[in-house]
Amino acid sequence: MQKILNLLPIITFFIFYKIYDIFIASKFLIIISGFTCILDWIISKKIDKINLISFILIAVFGSLTIFFHNSQFIKWKITIIYIFFSIVLLISQFYKKKPIIQKFLEKNIKLDDIYWKKINFFWALFFLFCSILNIYIAFYFSEETWVNFKVFGLSILMLFSILTTSVYIKNKILKKK
Q: Exposed, middle or buried: residue 165 (CB in 10 Å: 0-12, 13-18, 19+)?
A: middle
The reported pLDDT for the residue numbered 110 is: 87
- Taken in order 82, 86, 92, 98, the sign of the CA dihedral is positive
Q: What letter would DSSP give residue 48?
A: -
113-140 helix and 72-95 helix, angle to the nearest 10 degrees: 160
The reported pLDDT for the residue numbered 1 is: 59
Q: Exposed, middle or buried: residue 36 (CB in 10 Å: 0-12, 13-18, 19+)?
A: buried
Task: List Cβ neighbours of 39 (8 Å cut-off, separation of 6 or more).
Answer: 5
Positions in the chain whose pLDDT score sits under 50? none
Q: DSSP string of 140-175?
A: HS-HHHHHHIIIIIHHHHHHHHHHHHHHHHHHHHHH
Mean of all residue pLDDT scores within the chain: 92
